[in-house]
Amino acid sequence: MNTLIGLLLAIEGLQTGTLPRQWRPSGPNCAEVPAWQVHEYNANLYIIRESGCTNYEKPFLFLFFGEKRALLQDTGAGMTDVDRLIPELLAQWAKRANRPVPPLLVVHSHSHSDHTSGDKKLAALHNTTVIPAKPEAIEAAFQMPGWPQKLGEIDLGGRILDAIPIPGHDTADLALYDRLTGLLLTGDTLYPGRLYIRDFPAYVESIDRLVKFTKSWPVAHILGTHIEQSRTPFTDYKIRTVYQPDETVLELTRGDLLELQSELAAMAGKPRRRELSRFTIFPRVSLP
Ligand SMILES: [Zn+2]
Ligand SMILES: [Zn+2]
């Protein structure tokens, strides 16, 4: 992390962490690529990326640790051994923290199969609760009736995550904000790549909701669940690309969120494709 940003976050009272300048590319030889890359943002937050050699979507998963329980956002794409990986990480964390292995709560950025494929396997594990990626189930679990207007929160023990409904890409999109680190997780709604929009009016409202939320809370980074953009501005890797040696970083800023909001407003209710330096607004009717 750049020293100035670190200093500013320290002033805000946020726990700092690090992000890779480059995530491990999936290739060129898949035989040498591990199924998962696990990056410790800090001691109590792991960011996990599935290899493109397993599934071209290469989604990111996030594992938060509180004093009472752990929370996992998303369970990966395709056939994986996520039910081996996550218990290993829980045990490793517990050993280092000198604590019992925490119970696990699993939630989702949204319901698409590249983020939910490990659900069944994880639900079969001991001490694990998987909340289905459906608005009704999320409302009940977070005690936040009134989807998508109402926000919720969940306490992991000394660590509160805010839950912000942001439908539009899907019906069950849910942003998470971690008050300890100031990280805002935005799933497939905002990430460096193609922002596919299924329900445009809902998406516009969701982005407005996120902007409003970030007026009250400091944002260290905005982290979505894919990287499709290259380091060259306005350029992305084609869909189904496995090997992306020149891909950009995962993190976006609140400035990117504000840019997205103003570009959507400029469309005045008429969705159209718009390529920007770090992402593309990509309205479409049906999703893959
Ligand atoms: Zn999606
Ligand atoms: Zn996705």
Q: Which domain holds residue 199?
A: 18-283
Q: What is the mean pLDDT of each run of 10 residues along the chain (288 residues)?
A: 58 90 96 97 98 97 98 97 98 98 98 98 98 97 95 97 98 98 98 98 98 98 98 96 97 98 97 97 73
Q: With respect to residue 2, please indicate whether it lies within any of the assigned structural domains.
A: no
Q: Using CA of residue 65, residue 42, residue 253, residue 10, what is the dihedral sign?
A: positive
Task: Quote the ligand 2 centre to 137 CA distance (angstroms).
Answer: 20
Instruction: Flag whether 6 is in a domain.
Output: no
189: CA distance to ligand 1 center in Å? 8
Q: Ligand 2 centroid vs 124 CA: distance in angstroms?
A: 24
Task: Identify the nearest ligand to the CA of 173 by its number.
Answer: 1
pLDDT of res. 12: 73
Domain membership of residue 4 (yes or no) is no
pLDDT value for 288: 47
Residue 187: the pLDDT is 98
Whether 169 is covered by a domain: the verdict is yes
What is the distance between the alpha carbons of residues 220 and 52, in angstroms, rounded to a whole number?
Answer: 27
Question: Does residue 13 belong to any structural domain of this protein?
Answer: no
Q: What is the pLDDT of residues 233-271, one digit of tens each?
A: 999 999 999 999 999 999 999 999 999 999 999 999 999
Residue 284: the pLDDT is 86
Q: How far is the CA of 143 from the centre of ligand 1 (A)?
A: 24
89 touches 63 (CB < 8 A): yes
What per-residue confidence (pLDDT) applies to 3? 59
Specify the CATH number for the domain of residue 234: 3.60.15.10
Closest ligand (CA of 189):
1
CA 59 / ligand 2 centre spacing (Å): 6
Angle between helices 254-266 and 200-216 in degrees, nearest 10:
140
Q: Among all ligands shown, which has an atom nearest to the Cα of 171?
A: 1
Domain-embedded: residue 7: no
Q: How far is the CA of 147 from the centre of ligand 1 (A)?
A: 19
How many domains does the chain fold into?
A: 1
